[in-house]
Chains A and B, each alone.
Chain A
Amino acid sequence: MLGAAVVIFLALLLGLAADLVYQAAPAFAHFGFAFVTGTQWNPVTTSYGALPFIVGTLETTAIAMMIAIPIGLGTALSLAYLLPKRLRLVLGTAVELLAAVPSVIYGLWGLLVVAPWSRTIIEPVIGFIFGHSGPASGPEIGIGLLLAGIILAVMVLPTMVAISRDVLMAVPSEQIEGALALGATRWQTLWRVVVPHARTGILGAVTLSIGRAFGETMAVAMIIGNTPSLAHSLFSPAATMASIIANQFTEAVEPFELQSLIAIAVLLLVMSLLVNVAARLLVRSVGRTHVSAA
Chain B
Amino acid sequence: MVDQPEVASATLDALPPAAASSEPEPESILMLRKVSVSFSGKLAVRDVTFDVPEKRVTALIGPSGSGKTTLLRALNRLHDTVSSARVTGSVLLNGTDIYGGALHPTLLRSRVGMVFQRPNPFPAMSIYDNVVSGLRFNGVRKKSLLDEAAESALIAAALWESVRNRMTARAGVLSGGEQQRLCIARSLAVEPEVLLMDEPTSALDPQATRRIEELIDELSDRVTMVIVTHNMQQASRVSHRCAFMLMGDDRAGELIEVGPTDQIFGSPTDQRTSDYVQGRFG
Contacts and interface: CB of A to CB of B under 8 A. Distances in A.
B109 A174 contact: no
Most chain B CB atoms below 10 A, which of A174, A182, A184, A196: A182
A20 interface: no
Interface stretch (A68-76, A96-104, A160-168, A286-294): A286-294
Interface stretch (B9-17, B120-128, B155-163): B120-128
Contact of B137 (A175, A177, A182): A182
Contacts of A132: none
Given A176-B81, A290-B172, A182 B125 contact: no
Given A185-B106, A294-B179, A179 B133 contact: yes
A192 interface: yes
Contacts, number: 88
A175 B120 contact: yes
A290 B133 CA distance: 18
Nearest to B173: A292
Nearest to B118: A294
Contacts of B136: 192
Contacts of A176: 81
Interface string B37-56: 00000000000000000000
B57 interface: no
Interface in A164-216: 172, 174-185, 188, 192-193, 196-197, 199
A183 B203 contact: no
B79 to A, nearest CB: 11
Interface stretch (B183-191, B211-219, B228-236, B269-277): B183-191
Nearest to B138: A183
A180 B123 contact: no
B145 to A, nearest CB: 16
Contacts of B134: 182-184
Contact of A180 (B1, B81, B118, B119): B81
Given A178-B122, A182-B109, A291-B171, A192 B116 contact: no
A181 B114 contact: yes
Contacts of A197: 122-124
B119 A183 contact: no
Given A177-B78, A289-B172, A292-B172, A183 B107 contact: yes
A196 to B, nearest CB: 4
Contact of B78 (A172, A180, A196, A290): A180
Nearest to A200: B124
Nearest to B111: A183
A196 B124 CA distance: 6
A291 B78 contact: no
B106 A181 contact: no
Interface residues of A, number: 24
Interface in A241-294: 289-292, 294
A199 B120 contact: no
B199 to A, nearest CB: 13
Contact of A193 (B1, B122, B171, B190): B122
Given A176-B81, A179-B137, A183-B106, A289 B170 contact: yes
Contacts of A290: 123, 172
Contacts of B122: 175, 178-179, 193, 196-197
B124 A174 contact: no
A71 B272 CA distance: 58
A176 B122 CA distance: 10
A192 B138 CA distance: 13
A64 B170 CA distance: 33
Contacts of B170: 289, 291
Contact of B186 (A182, A185, A199, A292): A182
Contacts of B239: none
B95 interface: no
Contacts of B138: 183
A188 B123 CA distance: 16
Contacts of B36: none
Contact of B172 (A174, A185, A291): A291
B116 A199 contact: no
Given A182-B113, A289-B172, A199 B137 contact: no
Contact of A184 (B106, B113, B176): B106
A177 B81 CA distance: 9
Contact of B183 (A178, A180, A183): A178
Contacts of B116: 174, 177-178, 181
Contacts of A185: 1, 106, 137
Task: Give the 8 A-B CB pairs with smallest separation, nearest first.
Answer: A183-B110, A182-B134, A196-B124, A181-B114, A291-B172, A184-B137, A291-B123, A174-B120
Given A183-B109, A184-B137, 5 more contacts: A172-B120, A181-B76, A182-B137, A291-B179, A294-B176
